Amino acid sequence: MAGAKRTLPVKARAASTLCLTHVLAVALGAALFVLFASVVLPSGFGRGVGDRLSRSWGAPTPPGQTGLEALSRPTPTGPDGAPLVPAPVAAGWQLGVVDYAMPDFETPLVFAAYVENGTDFYLYAQGTLVLFSGSTAPDLDVKACSAGGEHMRLADRWNNVFHCKSHRPLRRGEPLTLVYADETAAGGLAAVDSKAAFDGLVDVPSAGAPKYYTCASTQVKNTDYLADWLAYHRRLGVDHFYLYDNSANGTVGAALAPPRPDTDVLVWPWRKSQQQANSHMATLGRARCHWVLFSDVDEFVFVKGATGRGPAPLRRLLAQREAAGKQQVSLYRLEMGSSGVLRKTDAPLAETYTKRRKGKGLWLNYKSAVLLKDAIPYSRVHFFDLRVKPLGFNWAFIQQWDEMQAMVEWDWFKVWDPRGHIVHYSTKSWSEYIAKYSGDLNGMIPNIGFERFNYTVDSPPSFWPAFGGVYRDTAFRNYKRRIDKRDEPEPMLVIN
């Protein structure tokens, strides 16, 4: 309770031990990640799959009349003069039967499907690949896809996402799943349990159809910071949002009810499924979006430069990079600290958290915006493979890091890039931090000593005021204040 006597068994040593344990755990994980990729994986691992992907998808789409001139093009309209807009996402949209009493994420399950043209379909699964799911069960040796019990060709896969080819038009209502090798099953093959079936809807991108110039896609579990994130990125130039509701009971959709016309909510309650959600968006979005920004709701795009009148900053940035021949833009992510905040507030993140580190640990990974027409629809969470040079299966891309950064089609922003970066509020308040990590609730980071040192919501560690840095940085807060005063721009649409 508030004001209760703290019962830390060892004060300074406990605090330093917890910090050190956290740092060492992250460092050890990163070291093992790189070691596995460089030593355990053979040289060139995954390139065969990359070559197969390249053959499967063919050459990248030639550049059209896009780029800076797109900013001044009129909005496409129909015969009645009304703006032409992409089709909304139909209710359900082949996401499978939603069951919130889902099995553990280790259990193999096909939970969603996407049918693109009646013969090409994608399956989104869990528990088929140990390397990325954390499962202790063996990998499934997936041999084929299945529609209505009939085997279909598996064209390619990436982790728990599978691209299937049907030799006939799919029939409405038939179940869709995967087939894997099983010595105990009749014929040596067994089907993965599935909640997905073809609902009769197909989604064919057509020439001359309108697309939103800039979309944003995110997977959301709670709505605490969602409204501010949406409002800010609308003013920054995002034309349409696709929210994958990852809550345990559909709270995201309920919180936005009724959603604005620029927001689609897709029910997606499956655990450890961000990679699958992003991959799903890469197929769903091809008929609807030109650029897509993939970001979390605690990540804000900081586009340096104009904040007053003129083109929306993100829209202008992407148009400039497209005019320069770029197909993907990856922005470095700057990590903000706790600012010593103990309990969650209702204030916007940028107003609450204004302190960070100055040296090591300040920058961590990237987030990206990608031209969907040039991307292979298998997400690596932080970026996509481009059709011009697929990188291969699993961790093969680690061995190709230098090649990736040398690709002329891929724009990698650097540390303190004058064009901008992502501001990431990952730590937040102590109450949110302990709720997220003390019980391994997110399935990623283990308990690192909360119970051992008797840390509770009401008894934070002495180092918390300095956790994540003490250097005051209000640059983004001030920038966001100016952006928040802008009028929302009209949606920008382009003809494919």
Q: Could you count the other beta carbons within 10 Å of the beta carbon of residue 494?
A: 19
174 part of a folded domain: yes
**b/e per residue, 247-280, with b = 16+ CB within 10 A?**
beeeebbebbeeeeebbbbbbbbbbbbbbbbbbb
Q: Could you count the other beta carbons within 10 Å of the beta carbon of residue 89?
A: 16
Q: What is the pLDDT of residues 67-91, one digit of tens each?
A: 566 666 666 666 676 666 776 675 4
Average pLDDT value over all residues in the chain: 78
Report the SS3 class of residue 15.
helix
Give 206 or 25, the one with higher predicted confidence. Answer: 206
Query: What is the four-CA torsion angle of 152, 155, 157, 160, rounded to 10 degrees?
Result: -20
Based on the domain organization, do 263 and 396 belong to the same domain? yes
Q: Mean pLDDT over residues 42-52, rounded?
A: 34
Residue pair 226/252 in contact (Cβ under 8 Å)? The answer is: yes
Based on the domain organization, do 405 and 284 belong to the same domain? yes
Based on the domain organization, do 280 and 379 belong to the same domain? yes
**b/e per residue, 42-64, with b = 16+ CB within 10 A?**
eeebbbebbebbbeebeebeeee
The gap from C-alpha 63 to its chain's centroid, in whole angstroms, comes to 26
96 part of a folded domain: no
Based on the domain organization, do 167 and 246 belong to the same domain? no
Q: What is the pLDDT of residues 344-392, one digit of tens each?
A: 999 999 999 999 998 878 998 899 999 999 999 888 889 998 988 777 6
Give 344 or 203, the one with higher predicted confidence. Answer: 344
**Non-local CB neighbours of 287 within 8 Å, separated by 6+ positions:** 86, 87, 203, 204, 205, 206, 209, 211
pLDDT exceeds 60 at position 3: no
198 part of a folded domain: no
Based on the domain organization, do 254 and 270 belong to the same domain? yes
Based on the domain organization, do 215 and 173 belong to the same domain? no
Q: What is the pLDDT of residues 434-460, one digit of tens each?
A: 887 765 444 444 455 566 677 788 888
Q: Could you count the other beta carbons within 10 Å of the beta carbon of residue 420?
A: 19
Based on the domain organization, do 233 and 291 belong to the same domain? yes
Q: Could you count the other beta carbons within 10 Å of the beta carbon of residue 209?
A: 16
The gap from C-alpha 298 to its chain's centroid, in whole angstroms, comes to 12
The gap from C-alpha 267 to its chain's centroid, in whole angstroms, comes to 15
CA distances from 327 to 368, 370, 401, 412 (A): 11, 6, 17, 11
Based on the domain organization, do 165 and 243 belong to the same domain? no
CATH no. for residue 256?
3.90.550
Based on the domain organization, do 183 and 258 belong to the same domain? no
> What is the residue range of 174's domain?
109-191
- Residue 176: closest CA among 262, 100, 112, 246: 112
For residue 93 the two structure tokens come to 């949209």
User: How would residue 23 be classed by pLDDT, with cut points 50, 70 and 90?
Assistant: very low
Q: What is the pLDDT of residues 184-197, one digit of tens each?
A: 988 899 999 998 88
71 part of a folded domain: no
Based on the domain organization, do 115 and 257 belong to the same domain? no
Based on the domain organization, do 125 and 170 belong to the same domain? yes
**Non-local CB neighbours of 102 within 8 Å, separated by 6+ positions:** 109, 111, 269, 270, 271
478 part of a folded domain: yes
